[in-house]
């Protein structure tokens, strides 16, 4: 039997170089961005969307429905609160805009859509459009 081993000089050099020198940073800028997590369910009459958007005021949430397209956008604003003699040492909170768009398997009645926001969760009730928009055509 032969004892062959694979060697990657690049990996060997840089792998050993970092041992003992690299310390995990306290925070990576932009690493913990606000993410919009969405659950979508469907029954005979409507689609239901539950979107987690913590730390957002309901006035800063925009929902758009166009046919089978749903778009949710939210803005987290930084509240300026500085105290005299105080400086920020570390901050992991995210401030900015987040959005999510997706298609549903059927069209939505946008006039009957209901949106509620409570405890960081946006609940959308998106009633399905009555009728499927198709009709039978007789051949003459």
73-100 pLDDT per residue, tens = 999 876 666 677 788 777 777 678 889 9
Q: Domain holding 49: CATH number?
A: 2.60.40.790
Look up the domain containing 113 and give its range. 29-78+94-130
Overall number of domains in the chain? 1
Rounded to 10 degrees, the C-alpha dihedral 77/81/86/91 comes to -20
pLDDT digits (tens, 9 = 90+) for 107-129: 999 888 999 999 999 999 999 98
Residue 18: inside a domain? no
- Give CA angle at 121 (118, 122), nearest 5°: 90
Q: Do residues 59 and 77 touch, judged by C-beta distance below 8 A?
A: no
Distance, CA of 135 to CA of 48 (rounded, Å): 27
Residue 111: inside a domain? yes
Q: What is the pTM of this model?
A: 0.64
Residue 22: inside a domain? no
Residue 57: inside a domain? yes
């Amino acid at each position: 039997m032969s004892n062959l081993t694979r060697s990657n000089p690049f990996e060997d050099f840089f792998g050993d170089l970092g041992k003992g020198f690299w310390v995990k940073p306290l925070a990576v800028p932009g690493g913990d961005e606000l993410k919009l997590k969405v659950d979508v369910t469907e029954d005979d009459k409507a689609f239901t969307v539950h979107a987690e958007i913590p730390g957002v005021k309901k006035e800063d949430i925009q929902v758009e429905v166009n046919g089978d397209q749903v778009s949710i956008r939210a803005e987290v604003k930084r509240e300026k609160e500085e105290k005299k003699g105080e400086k920020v040492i570390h901050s992991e909170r995210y401030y900015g805009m987040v959005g999510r768009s997706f298609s549903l398997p059927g069209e939505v009645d946008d006039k009957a859509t209901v949106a509620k926001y409570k405890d960081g969760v946006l609940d959308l009730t998106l009633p399905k459009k009555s009728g499927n928009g198709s009709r039978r055509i007789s051949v003459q």
